[in-house]
Structure 1
Amino acid sequence: MLQTLKHYKIPVLMTFGILLMYWEFAYNLQRHDFVKFILLYAALFFLSFKLIQQLKVNFKTLVTIGIVLRLLFIIALPNLSQDYYRFLWDGRLIAEGLNPYLYTPDHWVALGSLPIAQSNELLEGMGDLSARHYSNYPPVNQLFFWLSGLLSGKSILGGVIVLRLFIIAADVGILLIGRKLLVLMNLPKHQIFWYFLNPFILIELTGNLHFEGVMLFFFLVALYLLHRERYLWSSIFIGLSISVKLVPLLLLPLFYQILISKTPSSTKIDSRLSHLIRKPKASFLRLFIFYIIVLTTFVLTFIPFSTPELINHFSSTIALWFEKFEFNASIYYIIRYIGFQTKGFNIIATAGQELPKYVIAFLLLLTFLRKNNSTLRLFPVLLFGISIYFLLSTTIHPWYIATPLLLSVFTKYQYAIVWSAVVMLSYSAYKIDSVNENLWLVAIEYVVLIGYFIYELTIKKSKQVNL
């Protein structure tokens, strides 16, 4: 026993230090204290990946550490994001039988009839920006909000705990499914800990209650089922994933080649429909039905909220992300600077409409010019596709990087791990009573990211990642 403890002395000390730092992060950190924030995060990032290196063959130990670290946050109110107030607002509306897409929170204030418990606290917490806009969270996401409203009563902390348990469960699901998929793809199974023990994931998802992890759970299950040639269920899970966060909708074209490939089936038949769309001679029919089921699943989730105003309210709110909001962007900020020099004003309205066209063009190039006819080849393409979308976006909040980070686990590329480190520089923008970006730090973030990406495509192009 003593010999075992001596052998693992360094990992034990590292784990103890990590626990203390996460406690500080969860309960004693304020968002505007950037120096403390970035020093803690840098230390956590370094120690976490050293821990993975030392214990990568001890799967159960790393799983236990990851779960304990998540439970450490269980009664902590998010201190880096206020989005959870809107989650609780929407959830309590649904619990009261009200449609969260129908009215803005400000509308209820104007009526002088606040419909839910702790309305004033939730309104103050979510802030003016959220209160004056319609909800932009898709229906499956709203399902979890509703459960928090149903189960937490009049307690904000209770609602936070319910939401956090769902997010933790999703991360555990990603761990288990991801490990299985890595084994099937003949990749090192410890790579799943690049996601599961990454402090970025623990802080942004478990800590700050962002639902990227739930979206990624459904998406990863879909990719696992696709690898097993369970096309029917794969398409349903992609539809559910889109109904948590819309991001996977963008990646649908990249499934084209793997769906029309004539790889013989060796797996169990799901149903008569699945049998039909798995026949090699019916590859284009398989492609068509797959996309139809994805979109049908997504649309059907809106049925409980269907009103004449739904499409207009939901789409108008989504459009704000392209035409009004800007934060931590890369290429767009260069375009914006050129616009100021040539036009004399912020050209976000024009750029926000034009940049998605370039994203679509790039995705089509990846769809048809790369040979994406296997799961092993599909993952890098999904990674590149989502990366170019984010590089051309006007708004990149840190938690968005969860998607490229998870996809990178199933590839030889590490640049998304680097991104999960440097993206936290964006928190320098948050002051006590204002948001003011430090563009020098934004520039450092993307110079490091793009520099490492170029390094991987050149010097490390043929090397398999092996942490």
Structure 2
Amino acid sequence: MLSYWRLHRYPILFAIGSLLFYASFAYDLVRTDFLKLFMLFAATFFLCHKIMQFEKWNFNFLLVTGILFRLVFLVAEPNLSQDFFRFIWDGELIKNGINPYLHTPDQLMEQGNVPIANADELYAGMSELNARHYSNYPPINQLFFALAALLGGGSILGSIIVMRLNIILADLGILYFGRKLLQNLNLANHMAFWYFLNPLVIIELTGNLHFEGIMLFFFVWSLYLISKNQWMWAAPVYALSIMVKLVPLLLLPMFLKYLGFKKSMIFYGLVGISCAIILYPFYSSFFIDHYSETVGLWFSNFEFNASVYNVVKKIAVGHYEAKPWELIEAYGSMIIKAMLVVVLLIALLRKNQKLQTVISSMVLALACYYFLSSTVHPWYVVFLLGIAIFTEYRFVLVWSFAVILSYYAYTNPDYKENLWFLAVEYILVIGFFLYEMMAKGSKKLYFFKK
């Protein structure tokens, strides 16, 4: 024991320091206190870097450390997001045999006698935005909500703990399949710990109960199966990823050259059939209208932590007196069309015959989408980070730190963003992105790179 301490005393001290910072984050932080939030996040990010610097080849140390960091949050109520109230609400509805896609919380509360546990507290806790819209969470996500409601025994804290344990298990699954996939790609398998120990991942997933990690688990599992040439088995697993969050739909065209036309058509067909089977239990005559209406709102009504959109908005509103609500609706419609073109160009022009190039193309496509999007919540970056560890791109690591600047918006009740902070964030991220694109050697990102 003493010899182990002598060999690893600095990483152990860094880990203990991180545990204390995470405990403060979990139990002694309000999101309006941006200075404390930023300082805690910066400290945990620095210590993560130092731990990786000292122990990147020590699997057991990094595994135990990453698990302990997550367990700190086990009984904490998320303090940077209210979304978990809606998660539990939807889960309670399913537990009681009610389709969560057919009624908004506002509608059910107006009817009175909502047959779910803690209805008043859940309704009061969720945002007004959540309360007046239909659920936009896909079916597999809903099943995790229902599991939390079922095993949580009608307790909000019990449901939080169940969801948190599922998210931790998903991160362990990402670590397991991620290391195997890195080995198959002839990359250093310790890169998986840049995801597993990343403070953004720990805080936004385990801490704030966002389900990007569960989506990423199925996604990485499917990529691993594809790397083993088991693409037919990978298709239903990929569908599970889509049915947690819809983002992987955007990346499907990247397999066209890698699998070849015939195999890719079969793969896409199997993914589509699997999605249809998963959707079937929730289907009703109103499902498609309600779900498409809610998903459409994300492209036409919301704005948060945007880069290109904020520049467009500044010019359009400041110089052309455009109405903001009309601008974001038009912009959202335009971005959908633009991303279809971008994804197809990357899928067809890049030499995607190798799986690592396919994954690199996915990083490019998803980064372009986030750069253009009007809404980029911090937890969105987690999925991009989880894909980027299988490539040579490191700009996402920069983003996983810089994105915390967007939380300044929560310091005021009307969520007004500080455009200078957003400018710093995106100058760092896009600057590093362009540097990697123009860098010499293996990191060059031209379309025709093998």
- Say yes or no: TM over 0.5: yes
* Superposed counterparts of 1:271-286, under 5 Å: 284-286=261-263
Q: Note if contact 2:393-2:443 (Cα within 8 Å) is conserved in structure 1.
A: no
Structure 1 partner of 2:16: 16
Q: Deviations over 1:23-42 (max 9, x none)?
A: 00111111110000001101
- SS of residue in 2 equivalent to 1:8: helix
Q: Could you tell me how far 1:138 is from its partner in structure 2? A: 0.3
Equivalent pairs: percent with the same residue?
49
Corresponding position of 2:447: none
Partner Cα separation in structure 2 for residue 189 and residue 424 of structure 1:
27
- 1:121 Cα shift? 0.4
Instruction: Please report how far the alpha carbon of residue 357 of structure 1 lies from its aligned counterpart in structure 2 after TM superposition.
Output: 1.2
Letter of the structure 2 residue corresponding to residue 157 of structure 1:
L
Structure 1 residue 324: Cα displacement = 0.4
- Say which of 263, 288, 291 aligns to 1:311: 288
Instruction: Identify the residue that residue 128 of structure 1 maps to in structure 2.
Output: 128
Amino acid at match of 2:76: A
What is the deviation of 1:374?
1.5
Whether the 8 Å CA contact 2:437–2:443 is kept in 1: the answer is no
Q: Tell me how far apart the structure 2 counterparts of residues 64 and 411 of structure 1 sit (CA, whole Å).
A: 25
1:278 aligned partner: none
Q: Which AA in structure 1 matches 2:291?
A: F
1:296 is aligned, of 260, 273, 280, to 273
Q: 1:378 aligns with which of 358, 367, 370?
A: 358
TM-score between the two structures when normalised by the length of structure 2: 0.96
Q: CA deviation at 1:343?
A: 3.9
Taking the aligned partners of 2:83 and 2:433, their CA distance within structure 1 comes to: 31
Q: Which runs of 5+ in 2 are unaligned?
A: 445-450
In the TM superposition, what is the alpha-carbon distance from 1:185 to its structure 2 partner? Answer: 1.1
- Structure-1-length-normalised TM-score: 0.93
**1:221 maps onto 2:218 in alignment:** no
Give the CA deviation at 1:236.
Answer: 0.8
**For the Cα contact (< 8 Å) 1:108–1:115, is it kept in 2?**
no
Is 1:350 the counterpart of 2:330 in the alignment? yes
Pick from 389, 402, 410 the counterpart of residue 409 of structure 1.
389
1:274 corresponding residue in structure 2: none
1:5 offset after TM fit, Å?
A: 1.4
- 1:456 matched to 2:436: yes
Q: Do residues 287 (structure 1) and 264 (structure 2) align?
A: yes
The residue type paired with residue 12 of structure 1 is I
Write the distance in 2 (CA, Å) between the matches of 1:463 and 1:328: 28
1:90-169 equivalence runs, <5 A: 90-169=90-169
Q: 1:432, CA displacement in angstroms?
A: 5.5
Q: Which runs of 5+ in 1 are unaligned?
A: 261-283
Structure 1: which 4+ aligned runs deviate by more than 6 Å?
none
Give the corresponding residue for 1:335: 312
Separation in structure 1 between the aligned mates of residue 90 and residue 441 of structure 2, nearest angstrom: 46
Q: Does 1:425 align with 2:402?
A: no
- Between the aligned partners of 2:404 and 2:280, the Cα distance in structure 1 is 38
1:178-197 aligned within 5 A: 178-197=178-197
Describe the superposition over 1:174-193 as per-residue Cα deviations: whole angstroms up to 9, x where unpaired.
00000011111110111001
Q: Tell me how far apart the structure 1 counterparts of residues 371 and 439 of structure 2 sit (CA, whole Å).
A: 22
Confirm or deny: 8 A CA contact 2:151 2:159 kept in the other structure: yes
Question: 1:373 is matched by which residue type in structure 2?
Answer: Q
Question: What's the CA shift string for 1:333-380, capped at 9, x where partnerless?
Answer: 111122212143111111110012111111111111100112121111
User: Could you tell me how far 1:149 is from its partner in structure 2?
Assistant: 1.1
Shift in alpha-carbon separation, 1:463–1:333, aligned structure 2, 3 A = closer
Distance 1:146 1:460 in 2: 50
1:289-339 CA deviation, whole Å, 9 max, x = no partner? 110111111122111111100000000000000110111011111111222
Residue-pair matches, total? 441
Is the Cα–Cα contact under 8 Å of residues 104 and 131 in structure 1 kept in the other structure? yes
Q: Say whether 1:391 aligns with 2:371.
A: yes
What whole-Å deviation, never above 9, does each CA across 1:131-169 have from its counterpart, x for those lacking one?
000000000000000111111122100000000011000
User: Are the aligned partners of 2:29 and 2:37 in contact in 1 as well (CA < 8 Å)?
Assistant: yes
Q: Read off the aligned partner of 1:368 and give its amino acid letter.
A: L
